[in-house]
Amino acid sequence: MSLFPQVQFQKSVALPGQFPPDRGWEVAVAGRSNCGKSSAINALLMHGGLARTSRTPGRTQLYNYFDLAPGLRLVDLPGYGHAKVPVAIRETWGPLGEALRQRQSFAALLLVVDSRRGVGDLDLGLLEWAGRPPETTHVLLSKSDKLARGQSMKALREAAAALDGIASVQLFSAHSGAGLDEARKVLLRWTREHKEITPAV
């Protein structure tokens, strides 16, 4: 069973004027290029081809909106931290990012961090930029299948220390399915809490 049976791609946003109407609730998904963000989105939403996975880091530069259910959206942000991203695209991060940040509906942030790399300055910068409360900020330590158990526990401990008071964090693997239920529960909790606050979406 899919988490959101009606999920579908809505639109790509390249300019601030192109955002969907600012109503309802949206979760942004962010992460460094090649962190496994597309695979995580596809696994979470149980939809193989939804977010395009690519072996070329830094290829997705648009804000890609998906409708999860009426009034609930997921926005897949461009991967950051890749040197080959052209300057023109980096410049649009500013106004586009600012437009997103101002949205009433931008309620939660899911950050994907490669578990082998750990939480870095760029990730912390992104979290600071988003400025969401810790209850609505969650980090997936991705590709955990690549780490031995001891290493993954160490990665989790270190990430939890770096994210103390900023975000919750868990191990995750789109390939093995490790942590999938836990991550889905977070997403469901957020959307349910939202509906309790604003039943009219």
Q: Does 173 bind ligand GDP (CB under 6 A)?
A: yes
What lies within 8 Å, CB to CB, of 59 at 6+ separation is none
Category of 34 on φ-ψ map: left (φ > 0), alpha (ψ -120 to 50) or beta? left
Q: Does 34 bind ligand GDP (CB under 6 A)?
A: yes
Of 47, 73, 143, 194, the one binding ligand GDP by CB under 6 A: 143
Choices 7-15, 123-131, 147-155, 171-179; region in contact with ligand GDP by CB under 6 A: 171-179
Here the tokens at position 11 are 């639109």
Choices 9-17, 33-41, 61-69, 97-105; region in contact with ligand GDP by CB under 6 A: 33-41
Of 37, 47, 73, 132, the one binding ligand GDP by CB under 6 A: 37
Q: Which is nearer to ligand GDP, 102 or 176 (CB)?
A: 176
Of 24, 36, 78, 179, the one binding ligand GDP by CB under 6 A: 36
Q: Which is nearer to ligand GDP, 86 or 165 (CB)?
A: 86
Q: Does 175 bind ligand GDP (CB under 6 A)?
A: yes
- Interface with ligand GDP (CB under 6 A): 31, 33-39, 53-55, 79, 142-143, 145-146, 173-175
